[in-house]
A and B are shown apart, each in its own frame.
Chain A
């Protein structure tokens, strides 16, 4: 046995009792526990500390493994993103798009497509919190793929749509969902979290729209284009990325492993 932890498990049992009294079943369970356990990666450990729940962190990281729900949720998110691009300048589309995406993700991980949904509903970790976590996972992974696609197509005809989808939809929605999850975890209420996420999105669209409108029409009613400029203004993309990077650094610092703690 080369693994020091396994040696320790077995020798620990041996030291604690005379040889005749070794409980082999117990020793075997200890060994099996070490061999079979899924060792979470650093990111999952950080997520567990951040979310204050190893269960939520596991739900976050296993989300893409549930293939059919994952594909359906991603398809809905990308379709809504495309719709948002097509409806540029139509505030209603912008304002209801997050709700449509949320409903799509809820359906994807609901009773129709998630095979273990019934079981999940009887768990101590709220199924709504799990759903919110999965929404963050769906948006974050798709946003990363969008960033890669935008970089890969830089300078080609495909660059603009990929960048618009990523910067105007996937990244802001990832941020809104992450905020919703953060609030939900803090106050232990998925409803409060969803409210905070929706509120943040609404504030973002309206506030920037108001600013743009004031600058262009000297205080008139919000124009449709101004209303949606928070997510269509290319000048804001770099500041968004800078804020996201700062947030990531803060999160990594706050969730760094501490000595003596698992």
Chain B
């Protein structure tokens, strides 16, 4: 398993952002669904080794990220796209991707080819030498994806990756992560249900810091039978599971599988 979480909790003051999450995830594309404030981003930041857990154990790529040497080894094999990708306006696309490839400690002689391949994979070749300040929001998102995949990561964490992408780019992106998921563990955090339905082999739904559902997109869709709100079967399943979790939350129970 590339990700093993056991009873992981993260608190900010009195607020429990992630509450006793246990997950084991192997290679493939794993969708993390949930409404705003469900704890998806906090969970992803812990997986990215940016945020330590308040309690519980985290193992990534069979290593303990709490130990500095192991953390460095994990980070060499990690790709991360944060929810809010900050960028340096005066850098070009290629310079930005190259900078982070070097900070990932890729062997220097491999970096130029890896940068070119990553930039081409997100279809930004024609803008490779453009300054980041001249790019649109969707293009910047693709720059973020390029830096995340430049090292051919074994663990790829994408927080709202399709935000700002147009429909054609979203289709291309889903094909890209399906391809990457053949060898790596790809975790896609999103609140867009259709992204999960077409790209993910497995999905977890979070609400109020807990995982309230885990299964395949088909199983999630099946939960929506009889539920009225939502345009697609997946959206109805999403709505039904969330509604059930809200009903059960006061009693402290969850519907986790």
Q: Say yes or no: is A118 at the interface (Cβ < 8 Å to chain B).
A: yes
A192 to B88, CA, bound (A): 30
Residues facing B in A74-99 (CB within 8 A) are none
Do A59 and B116 touch across chains, with their CB atoms under 8 A apart?
A: no
A53 to B102, CA, bound (A): 8
Q: Say yes or no: is B104 at the interface (Cβ < 8 Å to chain A).
A: yes
A122 to B76, CA, bound (A): 9
Q: Say yes or no: is B64 at the interface (Cβ < 8 Å to chain A).
A: no
Q: Mark A96-137, 1 if CB is under 8 A from B, else 0.
A: 000000000000000000111111111111100010000000
Do B72 and A37 touch across chains, with their CB atoms under 8 A apart?
A: no
Q: Say yes or no: is A65 at the interface (Cβ < 8 Å to chain B).
A: yes
**How many Å from the CB of A248 to the closest CB on chain B?**
24
A5 to B117, CA, bound (A): 18
Say yes or no: A118-B128 contact (C-beta < 8 A), given A33-B113, A33-B116. Answer: no
Do B105 and A37 touch across chains, with their CB atoms under 8 A apart?
A: no
Q: How many chain-B residues does the 8 Å CB contact rule pick out? A: 41
Main secondary structure of the interface of B (DSSP, over half): helix
Q: Say yes or no: is A29 at the interface (Cβ < 8 Å to chain B).
A: yes
Q: Mark B23-66, 1 if CB is under 8 A from A, else 0.
A: 00000000000000000000001001110000000000000000
Say yes or no: A29-B48 contact (C-beta < 8 A), given A37-B98, A115-B86, A118-B82. Answer: no
A193 to B146, CA, bound (A): 33
Q: Say yes or no: is A221 at the interface (Cβ < 8 Å to chain B).
A: no
Q: Which residues of A contact B45 (CB under 8 A)?
A: 118
A210 to B201, CA, bound (A): 71
Do B128 and A130 touch across chains, with their CB atoms under 8 A apart?
A: no
Given A30-B116, A53-B105, A123-B104, 13 additional A-B pairs, CB 8 A:
A36-B129, A37-B115, A48-B108, A54-B111, A55-B102, A55-B104, A66-B88, A115-B87, A116-B85, A118-B84, A120-B103, A121-B50, A124-B103
Residues of chain B touching chain A, judged by Cβ–Cβ distance below 8 Å, are 45, 48-50, 72-73, 75-76, 78, 80, 82, 84-88, 90-91, 94-95, 98-100, 102-105, 108-109, 111-113, 115-117, 119-120, 125, 128-129, 147
Residues of chain A touching chain B, judged by Cβ–Cβ distance below 8 Å, are 25, 28-30, 32-34, 36-38, 48, 53-55, 58-59, 62, 65-67, 114-126, 130, 262
Q: Which 10 A-B pairs have the closest CB atoms?
A: A115-B86, A33-B112, A55-B102, A123-B103, A32-B116, A36-B94, A33-B116, A37-B112, A124-B75, A124-B105
